[in-house]
Every structure is written in C-alpha cells, then in structure tokens.
Structure 1
C-alpha cells in the first residue's frame, strides 16, 4: 500500500515464475531492441521474446527480463541504501523471500557506471541493475540456471541504453488494459508496462504516503483461483512487518474490469517505523480469462476515504483488458 520510491523499487525486483504468454513475438539477439512503453533499449539474451502484457522479455524456460522507469530521486535513495546492503537492502528483499548475495558496481558498454544486485528467490536466480539518467532505470532478470545465465545477464545489462522520458500518453498506450480517469484523480506514473497510478496532489513520488492513491495492476503471474488471490492479497494488506494494526473489515462481491470479483476493505494506524497516519484501504480483485489477476489498490486518509469511495469503484469498473491479453 505504501506508494513511495523505495517500495516501488523493491516491489519491482519481485518477478515470480513467469509463464510464456500467448501473445509474444521473437526478437533477434545481438541487436539493440527497444522495450515498448519505455525509453530503454538493450541487447537481449538468446531465446527471449518480447512480452505482451508487461515491459520486458520472456523465455520458454522461465527466464524473464522486466524494465521499469522510476522517478529520478529513486536512484539516490537506492545508493544510500546500497552503502550498507546488509542492513538496508537485505531485510527489504527478505520480506519478498529474496536472498541478497552480492552488490557490485559495473561499467556499461557506453562507459556509464551502474549497480548490479545478485540474489535468489526460491528456484530462481535474480539480478537487478540500476541506472542513473533522466529517470531511474531498473532492469530485473530471473533465471532457473544461474551458472549458465550469469555471464549472459551481465553482458545484457552492460548493453542497456536509456533515452529521454517517455510521455505519459505512450506509457498508457502500452498498458495491457484501458481505464477511465475519474475526477478528482489524475494519472501518475506507469510502471513495468503493467500498472499505473492515479493520485490527488502534486507528487508522483509520495514517500510519506500523504496523498490518496489508486494503483491499477494487471499481474504477470497467473493465479489458480479467486480464493487463492484473496488469501495472498489479505496477507499483504495485514502484514505486521509493514503496517501497524492493519485489519480487513469487509469482503464484498464486486465487478472489476467487467469480471465478477471481490473487494477487501479495511484500515491500519500507520506504517512500521513511521509516524501515526491512520488510513483506510480497499483492494479490488478479479481473475481475467487469461488467468492473470486484476488488482486495484485504493488508499486514503480515514477522513477522506468514504468521500472518494465512489471514484475508487468507478475506476475498478471502468477497466477493460485489451484483446490478446
């Protein structure tokens, strides 16, 4: 629920085991390839295909690359944390069952420095590279075979190039869904080609979590059924490592993206380690015919939430999954 630069960064590091999506097309290795919806180009590893549904590449054997462009200030926040990776980075990644093993500085083919994190999550080896530019560029990779993939991943990361910022219109066009902007909200940043935020207020990065937010996401990992999705969602919403006195008060049937789903509603008193800031939340959940989940997270101060609830409902109902996704 926390909409801040650091959490956006670390949540982007969590790539689950990704199945090959039906709508993809092959890309040629050894050529610089633009990742749709981003300013990033790279030379992909052999055997990867451009993904439909998120900004990145996928392979038949579970290998996957995801590209995200974050606010410029995320880079400096990350660099501060990287000064003490054992104390700052490792605990955050451990919350997502990622075991951080190494942090190293590398030099890209164009001479620019970048940081590369290496770790493991279950059967997968993980890499995350962070690049400084007009925006912070985060490229994450996963593979089932670390020994065979490490050199190829590093070579690919060294090829990364970032251009100027991509317009919000282009980011929205690259999403796997359409949705309606509902007053008084405005569009915030899109992430990873599969999610977008809406907010009220001037900040696109809100580390103190002051503004109301709606985050719409079309998750990459297929889910078995709505009950499983509900259980995973609730465990996140009431996680005592992150939220103080978080609780789900209500479960109601709802229509999300034209699909029969459910909405979980509740509240918490603040975030662990932060000042008291009572919030209410609603998380709208549904499973698309593709097996991928549609998740809409809405959060606001307790005295604002009820007034904004009709807008939250309207956004959840307005989502339309694009054909082929």
Structure 2
C-alpha cells in the first residue's frame, strides 16, 4: 500500500474542505468535557444524590467548596474555549486574558443563580411525582426519571443560551437527548412545575413557549412548519399556556399556534391552529378529530 499517496490525499482534503477541520491554538469543548461539567453540576444541585462522597452536616461545607472550586475551573475553561472561537481571538495575550475574565464572570454569575435554579428544579420534581401515579417518591424521580433529567439539563443549557454562549447549550441538550430520547432545544422558554411523563420521542423546538404546570407525554412534538433559513429568527414553534396536558404522539406546529390555558390535547392529534382555553380535543374511534370545552380547572 502506498501510504505516502494516502497521506497526501488526506492532507489535500484538509486544504480543500477546510470547513470541517480547524488548526489553531484552541479546541472546541469536547463531549467528554461537557459530560464532566454536567456531572459536577448534578453533584452540586442535588447533594447526596450523586457523587461518591457520603455527606453529613460536618462535611457539607468542605465538600461543597471543593465542588464549587472544581466547577469554576472547568466551566470557565469550557466557556473560554467557545468565546475564543466566537470572537475570533488569535494568539494575542491581552485578548486571551480578556476572554478568560469574561468566561469567569459568566461562570460566577451562573453559580450565583444556583439557589433559584434548585428551587425551580424542586418544583419540577414535585410536578413529576404528583403527575405520575407510579412514582413512589421525589427521590426516585431525581435519581431515575429520564424526563426529569432532561428538564434539569434544559434549565442549565437555557441559562447559557440566554447568555449567548455558543456551542455549549446545544452540546448539553444533545447529550441528554442521546441518553433519554427527549429533545428540548435550549432556546425554548419553559415555566415552572413542568412534568414529562415517560418522555421518549418528545421534541420541543427553539422558539416554543410553555407556561407553568404543563404536562407532556411521550412522542409529543412542539414543532415548526418547514421554513427558509432566513426565518430562523422568527417565532416558529407553538405556545402552550398554563395547565395544559398533551397526551402521547400529538403534534402541534407553528409559531402562531396557541393552546389555551387548562386545555387537554388527546393522543395522536395533529394541530396547526390555536385552541381557546379549557378546550379538550381528541381523535375519536372513527379517526375524526373532535373537540369540546374542558371542565378542567
């Protein structure tokens, strides 16, 4: 085999197809590095649930400080990588120093938000527990429910999405998508007490807006019509108001579609138009869509 010929042909492809390779000083965050950050975040968010330490009140402060220090280092490093790429920073040391300071500032702001984030996740865990008769405890929800894990990672990724951090929010979302089968874009806006039951196959698009106390079952899609790339900045996904329940395999499409408060969308429904509050819509046995006003409060 002529290895020199193969080598030259590969190197030539690097020159001619440069979009899919990079040769500079900085690396993108890797899957492994983002997984590690998420693991550290889970340990901080739910002490005693994850991690190898046995916690008690005497050890809690020391262990939390160690975790906090680790998170600051690792998260600052990964955010710094993305900001270097976003800002086209070269090898000028003064530029690098400014980027590192910005990355650390973003990291510290995020860590300061932990108490609020924990409170929101507590409301989500409670909603999942109360919404699933099979759930035996909130502990079980936190430790084992894929829907709750997807919600947790979404809320972390959404913070960085709002801060306009490139790459990392989507990397986080796709990692949990791979492990749970639940695809929540980090740009979606989701209220408190959010419940995902079963969850496999759920898709929530970038511009979807979901209110408080909403429950989704497996296979639900909150999607967009096929649109031109130029429409990417427009609202393309539906709005789901407070108290709505959407059952398995239903599809709701369009940025102007609004599902009114306390409505119920039955399984296998296809919707491209809005529903008023307190509506119940379902597919009957003869496959005709039917709807009526719901009595749900």
TM over 0.5: no
TM-score, normalization by structure 1:
0.23
- Bigger radius of gyration, 1 or 2? 2
- Higher RCO (C-alpha under 8 Å, 6+ residues apart): 1
**Which is richer in strand?**
1
